[in-house]
Structure 1
Amino acid sequence: MKNFIKFLSLVGFGLALSCATFREGNVEYQKIEATNAAKKSISFAVTGQVKLNTNEPVPQNANALGSWANVVKEEFTASSLFSAVKNNEKSTDLSVDINIQNNGQFSQGLSMLTGLTLYLFPSSATDEFVVEATFKNKSGKEIAKIQKRDSVSTWSHITLIFVFPFKSLSNEVYQCQKDLINSVLVEANAKGVLK
């Protein structure tokens, strides 16, 4: 009986890791050229919605928004384009409202079939992230709106157990977040929005 329980535990663990996530790669990380001009301070606010298949969009949960806010703070600070980066403060030279739209697509029937066949029958789910950044000056006047998009697809199949360590969902989504925010900054800098 103990061996059977160990076997079931091993099978369950293996099935939990039989997923791999791949990026579409619409945006790539680019080095931002810092200018010698005086740097401005910036404040950011992150909002977002999730839309699954054809359902109406609903607000993203606090954990997802917190993850995006951390990436925004990281990327804005690492860019060296600003004198200060603050979260949701009004006393800065610039502000940016970042709205994240997560459009998810999956087939509930295929997902159930994958689970019932112990991952012998494959299924997939896709998350498209649309980042819309609205930059405003100190008086609140909109000076630019930039939109970027990328997506990740997660495949579930027993053969992907060997790919999982290299293509996990959390790593691919994090890299996608970084690249999207970086891409917004690169375009804003190139257009002179941050000066």
Structure 2
Amino acid sequence: MSDDDLLRVAVIVGSTRNGRFGPSVAAWFVSRACRRTTLDIDLIDLAKVRLPDVLTDQEEPVPAPVLALAPRLAAADAFVIVTPEYNRSFPAPLKTAVDWYAEEWRAKPVAVVSYGGPSGGLHATSQLREVFTELHAITIRDSVSLPEYWNDFDADGTWPKPSADCHTALNAMLDQLTWWARGLRAARRAHPYVV
């Protein structure tokens, strides 16, 4: 398979708190996405990347963790954000991570996998759509929402159980993400995106 056939997808775990469920959601997503041989997955866990929470001024040097993550984001053809919903929004470390970068997001598709209480993280997804629109990224219409995700544990402790709705939602979202990633990559190559 050539590099032109492969799509690089950066999957970003947006929660950094102790006891978080995000890595479990991301592991499920990655295991399903890896079944598609045209996807090259780069899992980025913000708890491990440890970006500074204070942004620098234009004249200040960029911190090493920010510089280290930049090429991984720049190489991505698409993004999947895995986020919980905290107080009807997404976590502050995720917003800080988004704000450290600009060009890396431009003219690329972003999909969201959210989890939480009754809303399943849809409030967080809605706010992420606004943020990524400002950064000239394209958010995918269909997302994966995991309302009361704790109810999707199977009797043997595996998550999510085979009958969970998220399996079908994930396939639809990946179909859309792949379509947009291919189209936008071709467009960026033919005509550089201008802000």
TM-score by length of 1: 0.40
Considering fraction of residues, name the structure with more strand. 1
Give the structure with the larger helix fraction. Answer: 2
Rg larger in structure: 1
Q: TM-score, normalized by length of structure 2?
A: 0.40
